[in-house]
């Protein structure tokens, strides 16, 4: 299988690490993004990250060097998609942008290539009509940060062929990920539906004046033995990401009340997007 080529679309925090997982797994890997500076940042970030992993003994210097030799970057989608065996999309969480990308991928990638979206809020059936041979399309959801968290959720839509699931299972396992398969589509899948309940209740408790952000996080980490509290996790994954997910949830349910909370909206509109901006529920200082 390692003579295959994997394309990852989107060189943000998720996409760059998914691409590194593919390269570490032995695949010829292409990382595509519309912005050259984003690709430069991705390579810089990955080199620093992998150097730390080598120092900690999590990867050998030899396997990391070989992985970088298998990794190429480009801003040309037609070139990136040419001749690939599999595509994993990890771009912005907006349906219109994803539909545009998958329509292009359907044109540029071989008809035999399997296609996956990393989204956990946009199911692949919402993209299927812009893809030729939609039976090759599914969701393959990694968790942040992909190099650390082993789980992936693999979701079979009503259009998805069993062969597609088998091929992405093999790819994920080659990346040394643990695969959980969902036989039906549902908004948020398994993990994020559980997290959604924790996030919503935590924000409710905070907005109701029951307890502070810090005390709620402490209660969850110390009382439930979670490694990170809900507000710290919201900051880590990004206030903007969670804001847009809540918007999509409200649309999916047809219930405006399921949309972003007052606090989440205020943070988003103020540009306080969590760790990446230096401030969210917590203040992290300069970026």
Catalytically active residues, by annotation = 120, 141, 153, 192
Query: What is d(CA 262, CA 44) in angstroms, rounded to the nearest whole number?
Result: 36
Task: Report the Cα 39 to chain-centroid distance in Å.
Answer: 17
Other beta carbons less than 10 A from residue 99's beta carbon: 16
Nearest alpha carbon to residue 109 among 128, 87, 126, 92: 87
Q: What is the C-alpha separation between 114 and 4, in angstroms, rounded?
A: 12
DSSP per position, 177-215: PEEEEESS--TTTTHHHHHHHHHHHHHHHHHTTSS-HHH
- Prior bond of 158 cis (ω within 30°): no
Rounded Cα–Cα distance for residues 152 and 14 (Å): 13
Q: How far is CA 193 from CA 196, 213, 235, in A?
A: 5, 21, 18
Backbone angles phi, psi at 57, to 5 degrees: 80, 15
For 91-95, which contacts have Cβ atoms below 8 Å and span 24 or more sequence positions? 91/9, 91/10, 91/12, 91/15, 92/10, 93/119, 93/121, 93/122, 93/241, 93/244, 93/245, 93/248, 94/244, 95/122, 95/126, 95/248
Give the whole-angstrom CA distance, residue 287 versus residue 165. Answer: 39
């Amino acid at each position: 299988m390692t003579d295959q080529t994997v394309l990852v679309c989107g060189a943000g925090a998720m996409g760059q690490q998914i691409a590194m997982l593919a390269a570490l797994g032995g695949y010829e890997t292409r990382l595509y993004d519309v912005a050259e500076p984003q690709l430069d940042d991705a390579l810089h970030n990955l080199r620093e990250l992998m150097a730390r992993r080598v120092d900690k003994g999590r990867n050998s210097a030899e396997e990391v060097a070989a992985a970088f030799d298998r990794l190429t970057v480009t801003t040309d989608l037609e070139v990136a998609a040419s001749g690939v065996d599999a595509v994993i999309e990890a771009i912005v969480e907006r349906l219109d942008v994803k539909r545009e990308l998958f329509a292009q991928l359907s044109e540029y990638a071989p008809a035999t290539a399997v296609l996956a979206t990393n989204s956990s809020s946009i199911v692949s059936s919402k993209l299927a009509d812009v893809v030729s041979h939609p039976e090759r399309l599914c969701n393959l959801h990694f968790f942040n940060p992909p190099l650390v968290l082993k789980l992936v959720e693999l979701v079979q839509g009503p259009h998805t062929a069993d062969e597609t699931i088998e091929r992405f299972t093999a790819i994920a396992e080659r990346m040394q990920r643990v695969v959980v398969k969902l036989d039906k589509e549902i908004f948020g899948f398994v993990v994020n539906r559980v997290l959604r309940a924790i996030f919503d209740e935590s924000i409710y408790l905070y907005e109701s004046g029951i307890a502070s952000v810090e005390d709620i996080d402490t209660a969850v980490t110390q009382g439930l033995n979670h490694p990170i509290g809900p507000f710290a996790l919201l900051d880590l994954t990004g206030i903007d990401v969670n804001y847009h997910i809540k918007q999509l949830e409200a649309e999916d349910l047809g219930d405006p009340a399921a949309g972003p909370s007052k606090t989440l909206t205020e943070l988003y509109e103020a540009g306080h997007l969590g760790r990446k901006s230096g401030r969210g529920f917590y203040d992290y200082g300069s970026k």
